[in-house]
Structures are given as structure tokens and as C-alpha cells.
């Protein structure tokens, strides 16, 4: 799209109270968006912000602004009812139209949950699937990293502008993703992390993908929002079960009760999707331990709703199922003597219990 035309698309997208639906209505009612503003002279266009968007696109050949009328707009995403009219992309633009599996879950995962996310993503990537997630702490990050470890490609859908990486600690991960995938967002430059933007981002994660795998999720979490969008968009929904004692498993269990497909291996997902779009024959990768634990609140209060705060840092190494002490020591990286002392303290506080073969979480 020519710059003269694109600037009016950007102007309308930045207009207060204009979302995908009202934007689509404007496209239907006006031959071009300049005429929309001619008919609405009271709208004040902040041209400096438009210039910032265009300047971002000019910074690198790796930066792209695409509209829903462009040929390279992802077809799968165009199908959804609230498709974003504009996407800002950094990285390999062509990946947006290739077969993807979305992986989502808690920002406060268990060690076992992170292992599952990493290993499943690695197996998917080794079979040619692109892993799509949200760049958040926890399961999202483990999924992106698993795809990269599998020498595959990954897409991060952001809830900020393309020039704002959130959380900041993921700047290095984001750079790796731009080199082996892409970052994508509907939000223009300068948009900082706002909690209401992340549910909006979730519809894009599911919209780009053929199916959504929920690794870990509390009963009222953002991951379940993504699963709901997936169902509305006629995508497949998968969930990994966990311990019945673990609050972070309750969201997955709720999805399973509602008809999501239970997953034990990566093959369970790939076999379901392979008939329509799997790029290579699937192979399985077994899930690791289903035991899980709960971590404290994430950055700036943006967190999965319904997750309690049990904030002793050592608890993240102990599952709700039996966790051998050797595994606890391996996960924590401390000595056996230090681990024994901490385990005794947690047991006295009734946070864990000693069981045959190791320890298990109580809260």
C-alpha cells in the first residue's frame, strides 16, 4: 500500500473508539479513508504519531506494516470476525500465513509445566510447525524457547506497540524471535503495556493458528480467554491435564470437561491437525511429569486471574504430585544440606508434606 493511503489507515486506527468492527464499516462506506476524514472534519489527526509509525517501518527492511487488504495479510487471521485491520510485524512476514500451533498458559507456571511447554514446542517445531504464543512470562516464554531449541520458527503476538517489548526482561528473547520468526502486534508505536490490551492480543494468537494447546491455566485466566476465542473461531482446543490438587491445573480441567481434547504427547495434537495442514508427518514426544506448583504475581500486576499468591521461592521446585528430593535439588541448584533445611521449614509451615519417594505441595 502506498504511503499516502497508509497514513489514513493509521490515522483511523489511532482514532479513539475505533475498533476492528467500526474500521471495517468505514472501509465499506467510503471508497478511500481520506474521504472518511473529509466527511468527518471534527476528527483531530495527530500526524506526529502517524509519522512515528511510518518512521518505525523505515528503520529496517525487517519492519513491516500490512493492512487487511494487502496480499500478504495472513489468510487464517482474515477469517475471524474481529480481524485487526493493520498489523505491525518485525521479522519474517511470510511465516504469518504458514501452519501454526498456538501454545498458552500461566505466567506463574510449575517447573513441570515449563518442561512440558518446552518439550512440546520443540517437538512441534522439529515437525515443521510454527509455534505462536504471547511473549509473556512462564509458559509463553518456555514455548518460544522450545521452538528455537528445536531449530524451528516462532511467532510472538504482543499486547504493546512494535517498539515496546513487554516484559522488558524478554528483550533478548524477542531479538531471537525476530531472527527466527517474527513479532506481530495490532497496536501502533508508543502503546505501552495496558492490561485491557492483552485479551485483545489473545484473539490474534488463536486466529493465526490451526489449534490452541493450553499447557497450564488457573480457572479464571487469560489462557482460557484464548481458548474461548479459539472455539469462536472454529479452531481446535487441546489441554494438558495436571494434578487435581494444583490450582494452576483447574483451567485445563475445566476445558477438558467442556470438550477440549486431552493431550499426553505432541502426537495427540499433530495427528488431530495433520489432515488439514500439517507440513510434515508427525512424531510423538512424551509429556513430562504432570505435577505442578504455583508462583507469585507477575510484573506490574498483569497476571492470570484466579491464581493465588504462595510466594516462597523454593515452592516452585516442588510439585503437587510426588517430587523426588534429587529432582528438587537438581531444579534448585543448591546442596542437599541446604535443600533439607528448606524442606523441613516448609513442612513445618504446612506448605509441603513428606511422602514416600519425596515431597508434595499442599498449597
Per-residue pLDDT, 56: 98
Strand order in the sheet with 211-214: 63-67, 86-91, 181-185, 154-157, 130-133, 100-104, 211-214, 236-239, 261-262
Cβ(106)–Cβ(223) below 8 Å: yes
Query: How distant is the alpha carbon of residue 231 from its chain centre?
Result: 16
Q: What is the pLDDT of residue 71?
A: 94
Which domains are present in the chain? Answer: 1-45 (no CATH), 94-277 (3.40.50.450), 312-361 (1.10.10.10)
Q: What are phi and psi of 40, to 5 degrees?
A: -130, 65
pLDDT at 144: 98
Nearest to 281 by CA among 272, 269, 271: 271
pLDDT in tens, the chain (363 residues): 788 899 999 999 999 989 999 999 999 999 899 999 999 999 999 999 999 999 999 999 999 999 999 999 999 999 998 999 999 999 999 999 999 999 999 999 899 999 999 999 999 999 999 999 999 999 999 999 999 999 999 999 999 999 999 999 999 999 999 999 999 999 999 999 998 899 899 999 999 999 999 999 888 788 888 998 999 999 999 999 998 888 888 999 999 999 999 999 999 999 999 754 544 333 233 333 322 222 222 333 333 333 333 457 888 888 888 888 888 888 888 888 778 778 877 876 778 888 888 888 886
- pLDDT, residue 319, reads 86
Name 205's bridge partners: none
The CA distance from 240 to 246, in Å, is 13
Rg (CA), the chain: 22
CA atoms within 13 A on the CB side of 339: 19
Interstrand relation of 358-361 and 352-355 (parallel, antiparallel or unpaired): antiparallel
How far is Cα 129 from Cα 210, in angstroms, rounded to an integer?
10
pLDDT score at 277: 52
Q: What is the pLDDT of residue 298?
A: 32
Distance of CA 203 to the CA centre of its chain: 10
Amino acid at each position: 500500500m502506498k504511503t499516502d493511503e497508509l497514513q489514513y489507515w493509521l490515522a483511523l486506527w489511532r482514532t479513539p473508539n475505533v475498533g476492528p468492527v467500526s474500521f471495517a464499516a468505514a472501509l465499506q462506506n467510503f471508497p478511500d479513508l481520506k474521504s472518511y476524514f473529509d466527511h468527518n472534519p471534527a476528527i483531530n489527526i495527530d500526524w506526529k504519531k502517524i509519522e512515528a509509525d511510518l518512521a518505525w517501518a523505515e528503520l529496517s527492511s525487517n519492519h513491516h506494516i500490512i493492512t487487511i487488504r494487502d496480499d500478504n495479510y495472513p489468510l487464517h487471521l482474515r477469517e475471524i470476525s474481529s480481524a485487526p485491520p493493520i498489523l505491525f510485524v518485525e521479522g519474517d512476514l511470510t511465516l504469518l500465513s504458514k501452519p501454526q500451533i498456538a501454545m498458552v498458559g500461566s505466567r506463574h507456571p510449575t517447573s513441570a509445566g515449563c518442561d512440558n511447554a518446552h518439550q512440546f514446542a520443540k517437538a512441534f517445531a522439529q515437525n515443521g510447525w510454527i509455534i505462536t504464543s504471547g511473549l509473556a512470562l512462564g509458559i509463553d516464554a518456555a514455548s518460544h524457547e522450545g521452538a528455537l531449541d528445536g531449530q524451528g520458527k516462532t511467532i510472538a503476538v504482543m499486547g504493546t506497540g512494535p517498539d515496546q517489548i513487554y516484559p522488558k526482561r524478554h528483550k533478548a528473547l524477542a531479538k531471537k524471535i525476530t531472527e527466527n520468526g517474527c513479532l506481530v502486534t495490532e497496536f501502533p508505536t508508543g502503546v505501552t503495556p495496558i492490561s485491557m490490551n492483552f485479551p485483545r492480543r489473545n484473539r490474534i494468537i488463536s486466529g493465526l493458528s490451526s489449534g490452541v494447546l493450553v499447557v497450564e491455566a488457573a480457572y479464571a485466566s487469560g489462557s482460557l480467554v484464548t481458548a474461548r476465542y479459539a472455539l469462536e473461531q472454529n479452531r481446535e482446543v487441546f489441554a494438558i491435564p495436571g494434578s487435581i490438587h494444583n490450582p494452576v491445573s483447574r483451567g485445563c480441567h475445566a476445558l477438558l470437561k467442556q470438550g477440549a481434547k486431552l493431550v499426553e504427547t505432541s502426537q495427540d495434537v499433530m495427528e488431530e491437525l495433520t489432515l488439514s495442514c500439517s507440513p510434515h508427518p508427525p512424531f510423538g514426544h512424551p509429556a513430562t511429569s504432570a505435577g505442578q506448583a504455583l508462583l507469585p504475581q507477575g510484573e506490574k500486576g498483569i497476571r492470570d486471574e484466579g491464581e493465588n499468591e504462595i510466594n516462597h521461592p523454593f515452592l516452585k521446585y516442588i510439585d503437587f504430585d510426588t517430587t523426588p528430593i534429587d529432582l528438587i535439588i537438581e531444579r534448585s541448584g543448591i546442596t542437599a544440606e541446604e535443600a533439607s533445611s528448606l524442606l523441613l521449614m516448609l513442612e513445618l509451615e504446612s506448605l509441603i508434606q513428606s511422602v514416600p519417594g519425596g515431597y508434595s505441595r499442599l498449597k
